[in-house]
Structure 1
């Protein structure tokens, strides 16, 4: 793998923690504004749904809670693997990995894509999927694949950031990582998100 491609998938080995932190905080702020503007809510750590009337306070709270929850669980895991793990390194990985997810939300707001998605939602709601055009189906399929690619890229960034921060090498470390993501999803959906809905 060339150096440039390696940097794309693992910027944590090349850039200083301060640069990563600045990029991560900027991306977090942009994602908050984008979610608020687009009316999209984080009803899961890795799941987004439309929410009319989402407040700026709600968008900020969701982004911060998702980030800190994931960072907290991965930091705790990191400390058990390597007591010298620094929370700032795990936090940087958690922040940076949100960048492709934010791009995904931005793409969904493109007018022609938004129009197709609205058509599909309306057809599902009316139980009239047969009324959808072939182009709508092709566009929705392409968008779905693109969103999956963004999610995979985000997870790759988080894995590489975690590995760099913790010096994870063994298979059990990655099993623990996967378990931490599942636990984060459950805790957020069952405990935090119901409270955040009130904001």
Structure 2
């Protein structure tokens, strides 16, 4: 497989295949949320917290719909021929790395970090980790950062493909839309 298609699967696969993969990934991601105790409380967020399948599905639906609505509006402003199917596929597919990363946040290492932080919340300078723990924290954090970057790359490349994006100013509008989507999704998830 060509690297180009890993970073922009929207060029290679049909919208039907992307939609099927996207819907299946939402179901799988919601199951991951239940079994790995992950909550998806923002368009880029996965945190360790007990969750049910239905609640995880609700969080994913809110995240997907929030990013979908904002990107459709922006897409239609930039390129009136932007198709809804392309934006829904982007909104579904970009979440796959987030679902995968949520399996890592359930590692016992993060429980230990949380416990130490809570026990020393007034004196964070007292946090102590041995060398292997620090190496593990750095390794897992690096992997989580790679998944986050990959999710953003999928969003950018998908949106660029769907809207024929060319002007640099539109990338600024795109970034603003992502920030608004993050804030809006958090508010909706916390209040619904």
In the superposition, the TM-score normalised over structure 2's length comes to 0.92
Deviation at 1:137, TM superposition (A): 1.1
2:71 is the counterpart of 1:74: yes
2:191 is the counterpart of 1:195: yes
Separation in 2, partners of 1:14, 1:51: 36
Equivalent in the alignment of 1:9: 7
2:24 is the counterpart of 1:31: no
Deviation at 1:160, TM superposition (A): 0.6
Separation in 2, partners of 1:154, 1:51: 21
In the superposition, the TM-score normalised over structure 1's length comes to 0.89
Separation in 2, partners of 1:153, 1:136: 26
Separation in 2, partners of 1:146, 1:56: 25
Deviation at 1:108, TM superposition (A): 3.2
Deviation at 1:35, TM superposition (A): 0.6
SS in 2 for 1:44: coil
Equivalent in the alignment of 1:135: 132
For structure 1, the residue ranges without an aligned partner over 5 or more in a row are none
Aligned length, in residue pairs: 187
Q: Which moved more, 1:27-36 or 1:98-107?
A: 98-107
Separation in 2, partners of 1:179, 1:55: 31
Equivalent in the alignment of 1:96: 93
Provide runs of 4+ in structure 1 moved above 3 Å. Answer: none
Q: Which moved more, 1:77-86 or 1:94-103?
A: 94-103
| RMSD over equivalenced CA pairs, Å | 1.3
SS in 1 for 2:47: strand
Equivalent in the alignment of 1:116: 109
Deviation at 1:26, TM superposition (A): 0.9
For structure 2, the residue ranges without an aligned partner over 5 or more in a row are 121-125
